[in-house]
Amino acid sequence: MYTPCPCCNSGRVITKNIGRTTGGVIGSVGGAASGAAGALSGAEIGGALGVVGGPVGIALGGIAGAILGGLFGGAAGGLAGATIGEQLDERVLNNYECLECGHTYSVNS
């Protein structure tokens, strides 16, 4: 998206993406946490299924459930957080910074 500086009309403009970065981190942490919670029930299910396979089956089922829950939770949370943060960047934060005059601004202002 080409958005010249409203101050000096320069095209040398960078996007800071603070919201997207922050949102991604927060989302990853939150997602991993909820993923970990899901992993506990995943571990229970895996453990229940693994009873057939004995102690090793219980352990493997629990570990697999925990890993999958954490990974998917973190990835999904990070994606959701980044999307929300991107909206924040676009609408709330001054996401654009002019390299010529140092002016910061958002698209809507």
Task: Identify which range of 9-17, 33-41, 47-55, 87-95 contacts Zn ion by CB under 5 A.
Answer: 9-17
For 53, which DSSP code? G
Task: Identify which range of 23-31, 32-40, 79-87, 99-107 contacts Zn ion by CB under 5 A.
Answer: 99-107
Q: Which two tokens stand for residue 4?
A: 């010249």
| Strands laid side by side in the 13-15 sheet | 13-15, 96-98, 104-105
Shortest Cβ distance from residue 91 to Zn ion (Å)?
Answer: 21
Q: Which two tokens stand for residue 90?
A: 């676009």
Residues that bind Zn ion (CB under 5 A): 5, 7-8, 10, 98, 100-101, 103
